[in-house]
Structures are given as C-alpha cells and as structure tokens.
Structure 1
C-alpha cells in the first residue's frame, strides 16, 4: 500500500499533457539549484530522481515522458554518481523497456527521451563494467528501433544514443565498426526484391553522418586503399552537392576526418607486379576522388548564397570549408578554444573538434557542468579544470544564503516534513504491538 501511494504521488507530480509544464518545472528546478548548494541540492535532486524513477512504472505515456525529462534535467544539472551507484540497473531497465518493441506502447517522444537518458547514464558512469553493460544491453534494442520505420522523429536520438554508448562502453574497433554499420543502414537499408527504397530526408542524412563521424573519430590507420572506404568517400563527396547546408557541413567534416586518420601516400609504388599494379590503380582512383573533393570544398568556401535554405549558416559553411581546404592543401587542422568556466579547452585536430561538438550538442545545457566535473570527459580531452570554491561547490551571495535559511524555503519545508514523519513513526513504534524498549506496566 505504501509503495502504491508513493507511486500515485509520483504520477500526480509528473502527470501532465502540457509540454510547457515540463519546461516550467525544469526551469524552476534549475533556478532553485542555482540558489541552493552542496548537500541540500543533492538531497533535492535525489528526491526528484527517485520520484521520477517511480513514475516510469506508470501506464500513462505522458507521465513517463515527463519523468524522463526530469531525469535528463537532473543528469545535466549535476554528475549523479550517488544516484547511479544505487539505481543504475533500475534506470537502465526502465529506459530499455521504452525501446523494446511490445514492452510498452511508447510514443516516439518517449523513445527519444529514453534514448537520451541512456546516453546520459553512460557518460555519467564512464568507462567500466556499468558502461559495458549499457552497451551490451542497449545495442540490439537500438538497432531494432532504428530498423522500425514507424516514426522517423525518434531516429536522431537513437543514433546519438548508439554513438555515445559505443564511445563509452565499446572495447575494440570491431564493435565501433558494427555500430557504424547500424547507423549507415538507416540511410542505406538492405532491401528485398519487392521493396522500394525511400529517399532519406536531409535531417536524417545529417544525423547519420554526424553520429557516424563521431565514432569514426575514435579510429586510426584507415586503409583508404580499400574499395569500402573509396565508396564512402564517393558517397560523402556526392553529399557536398546537396541543397541542404547542414548535409554539406556534416559531409565536409566527415571527409576531412577520413583523410586525417587515413593515409594515401604509402599505397603508391613503382613496381609492376599484378598485386602492386592493382594497388597503384586504387591509389590513382583515390587521388582522383581527393581532387574532386578539394574542388568542391573550394567552391563551397566562397559560395555566394542562395543554395540551401538556412542563409544564417552560410558564414559557418564558408569558414568550415576554408578550414577543410587549408587542411587538404597545407595539412593544417583547425585549432579551437572553448571556454569552460575559468578554463579553456583546446582542440587541434578534426577528431577532437568533432568529438567536442558532438558532446556539446548531446549534453546541451549540461555541457559545461560535465566538462568541469566529469572525469571521463577529462580523460577524453586531456582536460584538467581549475578547482574553485572548495570542490566545485557554488558560492552563495548574502541574499541567497538568507533565502536558503528562510523557514519558507522549499528545502526547509521538505526537511521539516521529513523530520515530522520520523517523529510520527517513532511514536508509532512506542505505542505499537512491536514496540521496542518500552517497559512493561506493573500489575
């Protein structure tokens, strides 16, 4: 009974069909956490996370959606190590239940949110057994959900989730390639004889290429002499001629990355054996593809506009393809600097830049917090942030401290309710049938 009553309260807390209410509650939590600090913030977040986790058992889809939104918001606001240590398996199970076909009547929105939550969970646990479990348990449901054509709006989140869990939990290049193949099949499905191919949208192509490139950035020593990689280069080169600017940008970054981590010169030879002649032909073909890509990049770096719907991205496109052109012609990779609090995170390769941009997009508003406190990301980027305010605890102003100490504050009210509940339970133990330590009355 007690558990069910608790679940009803959780359902009431997250039960709403109004999307604006999710934003409002998320904003209020963020505002409150910016005022309160230290252990009290964690106390509040743990309470919200526990209630959200209970709400994932509810039958109503909108309740589960709102609960997942709250979980994602909490993971973005703080690194939830304590919660993950206690509830890791439960959270993963609930999120996978939303992905698995037939387990719930999950909407595309719920599937997207569950996918994002799994990605947040993987980044929080970092490398280790838990990350490995996430990868092993999630790849197949993600693959099956991607293969389902019921609603393409969920696909970007599924792709990002697959990219993140492979990035964190994959252990070798073979597993990375398998995940990349799953992504590629989204826009190049294996079709039966009577099945007509559906042309993928620009958004779908961009999502696939971006997630695929993110995983490609973890690989090295690509054999560009192989037919497979030449086909990939040829396909990406074709995307540079597409109307959509985001497609061209994603394809350009992927091509720069391929030529950064692959090598071509070593394939050239003056020998004339049959095998070596074949290698030389492949090398010449590859140089032809590279020359075509360079010409395309040169044209896109000076594009006058009018090609592509989002004109505001024109300067971004020009700058990117100028960087790509400089890389092809002079071998210089772009250098970037991202401000993280009082620190600067530097990148000096296409691999690092693509990883940084992908994680920044995935984490959204939680990016700075994770870069400051997530040790896994510190290792990825070899980044050591400055420690401020005693182990990263926020410093509060005098007004904030007065608000925090106010008897009308939310946290003080919650603490008072908790203490009152404990007192009532203690009284119940003293007067109940199984009272402990109560002396018997004399006859």
Structure 2
C-alpha cells in the first residue's frame, strides 16, 4: 500500500526570545542616549525635590475628587433608572467618606438642582438617595449663608414627602432625618415647633407594626431637635413628651424601642438642666416600662436581641433613677478621642452616623461644624494619624508587639492543654 504523501513540511521550531533579540539589536545609540538623558533628568528632579509638596498633593486629590463627582453627576443625567441610582449612590459615597468643601462649594448649584429634580420627579429609591445627599451636602457646607438658602428651598419638598402616605417609608424616614438636620443647623425655635407638629401628625397616622423605619427616624429626629431647644421649654413639655415616647417602648422593632428610650433620656436631661431634681408626673410609669426592657428575658425574642436590649436600657434606668450620666469614648485619631458624658452628645453622634455611615470618623477629624458641635477644636486635617517615628521607636513598638504575641500564644496553649490547672 503506498505511503501517504505529507501535505507540507513541518515548520521549524521558533527560537524563544528571537523577536526580542531582534528588537534589542535595532535599538540605536541615539535612543540609548535619549533614554539615558531622561533617566538622568528624573534623578536630578528627585534629588532637587526630596520632600513632596503638600499643596500640590492636596490639589491632585481635589482634582481627583472633583472628577469623580462630575462622573456621578453625568450618570444622574442618563435615561436608565439604574444608572441614575448608581450616580446618586456614588455622590453619597464620595461626599460622606471625604470632607471636601473646596469641591462642593463651586458645584453647589448643580448639586442642589440635581437634588431638587429627584425630590420632585424621582422614584422612591431615588428620593431616598437624593434626601440623603441633601443631608450630606448640608454637613459639607456647614453653617454658611448658602446652607440657610439651601434648607429653605428643600424644606417644602421634603415636607411633602414626609406627609405623603403613598410614598415608601424609607423615603419618608430619610426626609424626616434631612429636615431635622437642616433645622438643627440653621433653624430657629419656630421652625422646630412647626416640624415637631408635623412629626406628631405623622406619628399619629403611622402604623407602628408596619412602619418601624419611619417611626424610628421620626423619634430620633425629634430627639435631635430637643437638644437644640431651650431647657425651660423642654421642661414645660417634658411630661407630654415622655408619655408619648413611652408608648413606643412596646414596639416589636428593637430600633424603635431603643430610639424611644434615648428620647426619654434626652428629654429628662434637658429638663434637669433647669431643675436637677426634676421628675415628671408619669415618672413611675415610664420607669416601670424602661425597667422591664432593662431586665428583659422574653421567650418570643432571640437571646441576642434581649441581650442588646438590656445593655441599651440599663444606662437609661440608671440615669432616670439615680442621675448617673453615660460615659462613652470614641477614638477620633491617634492624638484625640471624643468622650461623651451626656445623652445629647450620644444622640447627636448616632444621628450624624445615620447620615454619614462609615465616613463619620473622617468628618470627626476634619468637618469644622461637627467638631464645633462636640467642642473638639480646630480641624485636624487629613494627616492627623500620621505620626513621625524614629528607628528606635519603631523597634521598641515591634518588640512590644512580639512580646504580646508570644504571651498570647503561651496563654492559648495553656488553655488548650487539658492538664493545665486553672
């Protein structure tokens, strides 16, 4: 049988690196001289500028943030609803995690127009994001004249959303938070009273069993307004306020119960600034309800929920009975910590955290308005956590870490050993 003819010769194996060698051979002496001159120029510039210019680095950071804000604003102009939501969410994320008034002030009219547009004609999800964006912009601008104009323009739109029962409870809840923040920053007592009346109306029509988020947001916003009212006014209305807040201690939602307990503590704290021995007419009923939650062992609640509830209400009972103030500390930077010894400060911090989320630490370091609220002094700046250390200090820290690690390993080994004597 004849052999089959080969269709073609096998190609010769390609040498590895052949093309690279050819390109290397094609490089001329002139190219080498140019590359060498560029390298020498770079080394010269580095040697002449050994320290980085802080102003130039800050300008680059501002330009980068401004570019991200512009990209998100362009997304809000897109036809796709999902893209619009992504743009609003991106703006909230950028401005909540970065304190950048230098970027917000030149674009505040554009940002305000974007917020107004979505508050008027947006979907429920877009209204939630735009209301939160409005609150973040207020914190970025601080107590400036523009903020007062900003709040006056947004107040009617947010009030309509809050009072409209056809809107989702998430949109109404965020509208109440933004309204309270605006009043807290630039509002006066008449504005507070008008908003409180609106809160009372909405609470009267809200179904506690199905609108937990709305009830929690309104009670928290009401507590924030109480911290900005005069103590005599709060004392004169303390009985009615504590009775109304106490009705929500029996809610099935743990967040609503916690907000009601904190609101009662804030009310009594403001009243006791005038009369240290103040006790409302219904103190026995309120105290009985709070004590029941502080010693809660209900079987219809999970162990975790009951444990957290007891931890939240024990300080409230201690304050109402004996006047013991809370004492909590939050680390602001490596050089500073925020110590809170009043219910008003604790409530304000949780309220700001509700708006800013994880960006609260950045604003505690740099936001002048928030630092002024908590009396933290001047802004620390973005480099507050950078501490210059010598080589000896770094070595001492490393030795300390190694000693702790060794002690931890020995301790865990002893705990694992069944023959160890405890």
Is TM > 0.5 for Structure 1 vs Structure 2?
A: yes
2:359 match: 366
Query: Shift of residue 258 of structure 1?
Result: 0.8
Task: State which of 173, 176, 185 in structure 2 corresponds to 1:159.
Answer: 176
Within the alignment, does 1:66 sit opposite 2:122 as a pair? no
2:333 and 2:384 in contact (8 A); partners too: no
User: What is the CA–CA distance in structure 2 between the aligned matches of 1:233 and 1:158, rounded to whole Å?
Assistant: 24
Aligned CA-pair RMSD: 3.0
Task: State which of 212, 229, 245 in structure 2 corresponds to 1:236.
Answer: 245
Q: Which runs of 5+ in 2 are unaligned?
A: 1-56, 389-422
User: Number of paired residues?
Assistant: 331
Can you list the C-alpha shifts for 1:195-251, whole angstroms capped at 9, x where unaligned? xx896522321121112112222223244675x643332222222223332222111
2:215 match: 205
**For 2:296, what is the secondary structure of its paired residue?**
coil
Can you list the C-alpha shifts for 1:64-120, whole angstroms capped at 9, x where unaligned? 2111111111102321212222111111121011112xxx3x111110110011101
Structure 1 length-normalised TM = 0.68
2:261 match: 252
Q: Which moved more, 1:313-322 or 1:291-300?
A: 313-322
**For 1:132, what is the secondary structure of its paired residue?**
helix
2:419 match: none
Query: Shift of residue 123 of structure 1?
Result: 0.2
For 1:204-223, what aligned pairs fall within 5 Å after superposition?
204-223=214-233
2:330 and 2:339 in contact (8 A); partners too: yes
1:359 and 1:367 in contact (8 A); partners too: yes
2:60 match: 40
**For 1:338, what is the secondary structure of its paired residue?**
strand
2:318 match: 326
1:187 and 1:200 in contact (8 A); partners too: no
* TM-aligned CA distance change 1:223 to 1:77, over 3 Å: closer
2:62 and 2:103 in contact (8 A); partners too: no
2:371 and 2:379 in contact (8 A); partners too: no
1:346 match: 339
Within the alignment, does 1:124 sit opposite 2:134 as a pair? no
User: What is the CA–CA distance in structure 2 between the aligned matches of 1:165 and 1:265, rounded to whole Å?
Assistant: 27
Within the alignment, does 1:336 sit opposite 2:315 as a pair? no
2:162 and 2:173 in contact (8 A); partners too: no
1:302 match: 295
Q: Which runs of 5+ in 1 are unaligned?
A: 1-36, 191-196, 269-282, 396-443
**For 1:337, what is the secondary structure of its paired residue?**
strand
1:88 match: 108
User: What is the CA–CA distance in structure 2 between the aligned matches of 1:117 and 1:266, rounded to whole Å?
Assistant: 40
For 1:274-293, what aligned pairs fall within 5 Å after superposition?
287-293=280-286
1:186 match: 202
User: What is the CA–CA distance in structure 2 between the aligned matches of 1:186 and 1:264, rounded to whole Å?
Assistant: 29
* TM-aligned CA distance change 1:71 to 1:257, over 3 Å: same
For 1:384-399, what aligned pairs fall within 5 Å after superposition?
384=377, 387=380
**For 2:88, what is the secondary structure of its paired residue?**
helix
Q: Which of structures 1 and 2 has the larger relative contact order (alpha carbons within 8 angstroms, sep 6+)?
A: 1
Q: Which moved more, 1:385-394 or 1:53-62?
A: 385-394
User: What is the CA–CA distance in structure 1 between the aligned matches of 2:171 and 2:282, rounded to whole Å?
Assistant: 34
1:213 and 1:354 in contact (8 A); partners too: yes
